[in-house]
Amino acid sequence: MLTIYVSMFAFGGVSLLALLWSASADEALTESSPNAGLLNDVAALLTVRGVLAGMTVAGAAGTLLLGLLRLPAVVSVLGAAVGAVIGAVTWRRVLRAMRTFDRDHGVSTDVLVGREGMLTVGIGGPEAPGVVQVLLGGLSQEYTALPEDRRSYAEGSRVVVVRILSESSVAVEASPYPALSSSP
């Protein structure tokens, strides 16, 4: 059983760190307002990152209780369950704090306009927006993307932000910049 806890801790922690560095669609579930109710909180906790945070803390709690403190297996299972809830709730609070920071420290138009990004969700025309990922200050930011020229763009297309439409959406068009080759 100790091996299971150590494996949970290691796998959950490594996976969570990997997801922190990559873009993930599970944050769309956490866009609700802080007072939107229990159902939205549960949905946010059941995202991939919420589950991995819970699994990481559950593994650590189980390892501590069973392996280091030598408590009975029943106590370690209960401790792991409490640790899972604490980990998921902590992740939810961290995510809310990051969103609040982003909202309070928004990107000004002079920084975002003209930046090149990549579409992580293709644009199907003016009625079917996509998602553009832009690197700002070393951090990946995602915005809802609408086509300035009313065209469709495939996922993975390089685009340039030409206008800010709202806090979370931008107008884009095809990138005029030549692609950098990956080989020397």
Whether residue 141 is found in the same domain as residue 91 = no
Q: How confident is the model at residue 162, as a pLDDT?
A: 94
| CATH number of the CATH domain containing 124 | 2.40.50.140
Whether residue 10 is found in the same domain as residue 28 = yes
Token pair listed for 103: 């909202």
Q: How confident is the model at residue 168, as a pLDDT?
A: 83
pLDDT lower than 50: segments of the chain: 23-34, 183
Assigned domain for 181 exists? no
Q: How confident is the model at residue 15, as a pLDDT?
A: 85
Q: How confident is the model at residue 18, as a pLDDT?
A: 79
| Residue 28, CA atoms < 13 Å, CB-side half-sphere | 9
Token pair listed for 50: 């919420």
Whether residue 96 is found in the same domain as residue 6 = yes
Handedness of CA 91, 93, 94, 100 (dihedral sign): positive
Q: How confident is the model at residue 98, as a pLDDT?
A: 73
Whether residue 165 is found in the same domain as residue 132 = yes
Assigned domain for 158 exists? yes
- pTM comes to 0.51
Smallest CA-to-CA distance from 95 within 47, 138, 148, 158 is with 47
Residue 151 lies in domain: 109-174
Whether residue 129 is found in the same domain as residue 157 = yes
Q: 81, 104, 127 — which closes off a domain?
A: 104
Q: How confident is the model at residue 73, as a pLDDT?
A: 92
For the chain, what is the domain count? 2
Q: How confident is the model at residue 97, as a pLDDT?
A: 77
Q: How confident is the model at residue 132, as a pLDDT?
A: 94
Kindly give, in sequence order, each residue whose CB lies less than 8 Å from that of residue 64, ignoring residues fewer than 6 positions away: 79
**Burial class, 10, CB count within 10 angstroms (exposed 0-12 / middle 13-18 / buried 19+):** middle
Q: How confident is the model at residue 30, as a pLDDT?
A: 45
Task: Write the single-letter amino acid at 178.
Answer: P
Whether residue 99 is found in the same domain as residue 71 = yes
Whether residue 53 is found in the same domain as residue 144 = no
User: Mapped to the 3 state alphabet, what secondary structure does 10-33 carry?
Assistant: HHHHHHHHHHHHCCCHHHHHHCCC
Q: How confident is the model at residue 36, as a pLDDT?
A: 53
**150-173 residue pLDDT tens:** 889 999 999 999 999 987 889 999
Whether residue 30 is found in the same domain as residue 82 = yes
Assigned domain for 139 exists? yes
